[in-house]
Amino acid sequence: MSITQVHVRKNALTDAVLAEVPLVPLAEGAVRLVIESFSVTANNITYAVVGDGFKYWDFFPAPDGSGIVPMWGHAQVIESNHADIAVGERVYGYLPMASHLDVRPGRITASGFMDTTDYRQPMSPVYNSYTRLAADPEHDPAREAERMIFGPLFRTGFLIEYFLRANDWFGAEQLVVTSASSKTAMGLASVARQHSPGIRRIGLTSKGNVAFVEASGLYDEVIAYDDLERLPVLRSVSVDFAGNAELLGQLHRHFDAALAHSALVGVTHIEARSTFGGGEAMPGPKPALFFAPDHAVAFFKAHGAEEGGKLVAAAWSEFLKAAEGTVAIERHKGLEAARTVFLEMVSGKVDPAKGIVIEP
């Protein structure tokens, strides 16, 4: 018997193939998961683009020169060599673009466990945590697709708003986000609307996405990239989800000293990945990378798992109401479909109004 994986060439992301890998005997203390579903979003493209620098390729090993892109989704235990994890149990967490995954559960509680597989330990514990759905208060069987599509991205948006609010928004009057149609940007805008209503929210996007972003109702104003000069020059915070050095430079030059803080979060514009973070000296503050896993660890250390979870869940509930109907969920069967969708996203061809769910 074999398992199927999607192998992506690290230095040529448009080169992705299906690979059959022999299924080895399950190790002592391990459990085998069959992957039921996962979403493919711009977030996964970011994982691939910065995979070496941030060790995203290291979670799920592949042959030299290739990698397996991580996804967020649901899986079921089909074989268990661990007394505390039963066959048939379902989990949510970080999964490979593949049909199966073996994990070694540790630090087991009623609500979840950590994968203690040796090669995963150098990476952030945020990605090694799996939620046991039977005891998960956030789990809604009717909203599994939304959780895969929006959940991890929403949490990043939540943490960005928490960080900016903790710093009194650096004295800014308005928030300017690039790639405003991205799900992380929408999550940030939603949480800012809830917790920081005095901050004006401005979304920058391509002309083709203006109508979609306006329809979300999450921004006070939506401006196309070509009309960037329309941005009012007020004391501002920028959050760049695009990773486009030219665009970032335009923002810095437009605001100059009025830019209070410049945060870098993602790379949705893959064509500019080689200059992620900007390649030239720009006026205003030095762009600062926002690495969500580190902020997540700090957030839950400050608030505790239970209280922190309640804060996230409350904001998530409000976001779901705001996001209702903004994205049409499309389900695709098989890993060939996953490969195809991934390549479409690498090429920037996927409509932001679609939420893609793959069922391997």
Of the candidates 293, 264, 345, the one whose C-alpha atom is nearest the C-alpha of residue 59 is 293
pLDDT tops 70 at residue 1: yes
Residue 271 confidence (pLDDT): 45
Are 45 and 79 part of one and the same domain?
yes
Are 243 and 353 part of one and the same domain?
no
Q: What is the CA radius of gyration of the chain?
A: 20
**71-101: per-residue pLDDT in tens?**
999 999 999 999 999 999 999 999 999 999 9
Look at the chain and count its residues: 360
Tokens 């990945």, located at residue:
273
Of the candidates 259, 305, 250, the one whose C-alpha atom is nearest the C-alpha of residue 284 is 259
Asked if residue 113 is part of any domain, the answer here is yes
pTM of the model: 0.80
Could you give phi then psi for residue 176, rounded to 5 degrees?
-120, 120
**14-73: per-residue pLDDT in tens?**
999 999 999 999 999 999 999 999 999 878 888 898 888 888 999 999 988 999 999 999
> Helix, strand, or coil here: 261?
strand
Are 116 and 35 part of one and the same domain?
yes
Two structure tokens written together for 136: 């998960």
Are 277 and 334 part of one and the same domain?
no
The 10 Å Cβ neighbour count of residue 309 is: 15
Are 191 and 226 part of one and the same domain?
yes
Beta bridge partners of 221: 202
Q: State how many domains the chain has.
A: 2
**314-331: per-residue pLDDT in tens?**
898 889 888 877 788 999
Asked if residue 304 is part of any domain, the answer here is no
First CA to last CA across the chain, in angstroms? 16
Are 189 and 237 part of one and the same domain?
yes
Are 159 and 284 part of one and the same domain?
yes
Asked if residue 248 is part of any domain, the answer here is yes
Q: Could you tell me what percent of the chain has a pLDDT over 70?
A: 95
Are 38 and 124 part of one and the same domain?
yes
Residue 148 confidence (pLDDT): 92
Per-residue CA distances from 319 to 119, 164, 283, 309 (Å): 35, 18, 34, 15
264 contacts 243 by C-beta, under 8 angstroms: yes
Are 227 and 334 part of one and the same domain?
no
**167-188: per-residue pLDDT in tens?**
999 999 999 999 998 888 999 9
Are 173 and 43 part of one and the same domain?
no
Asked if residue 309 is part of any domain, the answer here is no
Residue 267 confidence (pLDDT): 54
In the predicted model, what is the mean pLDDT of the chain? 90
Q: pLDDT band at 347, cuts 50/70/90?
A: confident
Name the pairing type of β-strands 129-132 and 354-359. Answer: unpaired
Of the candidates 73, 47, 60, 44, the one whose C-alpha atom is nearest the C-alpha of residue 4 is 60
Of the candidates 151, 156, 165, the one whose C-alpha atom is nearest the C-alpha of residue 195 is 165
Query: What domain range is 157 assigned to?
Result: 153-293
